[in-house]
Amino acid sequence: MEGLRGKPIVIRAASPALIASGVCGLWIAVTGENFERIHHVPTDSAVHRQQFINHEFGHMILRHDTVLVPSERVALLAPLIPLDSIAYALSRSNFTDEQEALAEAIGDRLALLMLRDSTDAANGPRTGFGRVL
């Protein structure tokens, strides 16, 4: 995914304030940084964590970086990031709109491809996930 985006992607657990706002996942880019961020709800399940990340990858693949996050959600980032430096942010909390449904479908497909990759690793990098990206 970093190759597709042209920059590193840093993945971290979301802050308690962000979680309290109802966000499950957040994809954000900050002006002046040479990387993008994904924040997700903390979980002990590696599969659940990967699904949060895959969902945000779905937004990246679908180029949903033109959709703005409500100001009250962005304000939760203020202790970590100066608000005037946020280039774009996309948060996940609603599963009923079309963009969220599409990103979830892409995330599900990525999970299946990654599972196939883990069992077919001997076949090289152009299987499953590598073939899509």
Task: Please name the residue that has the structure tokens 């802050």.
Answer: 15
More confident residue, 37 or 94: 37
Tokens of 63: 């180029």
pLDDT of residue 53: 93
Residue (of 59, 51, 48) closest to 1 by Cα position: 59
Does the pLDDT of residue 77 top 90, yes or no? no
Rg (CA), the chain: 15
Tokens of 6: 């042209």
| Residues 50/117, Cβ–Cβ less than 8 Å | no
Count structural domains, the chain: 1
pTM: 0.71
What distance in Å separates the CA atoms of residue 118 and residue 130, rounded to the nearest whole number?
Answer: 11
- Can you give the residue range of the structural domain that contains 98? 2-132
Which pLDDT tens digit goes with each residue over 107-118? 889 988 888 766
Q: Is the pLDDT of residue 22 over 60?
A: yes
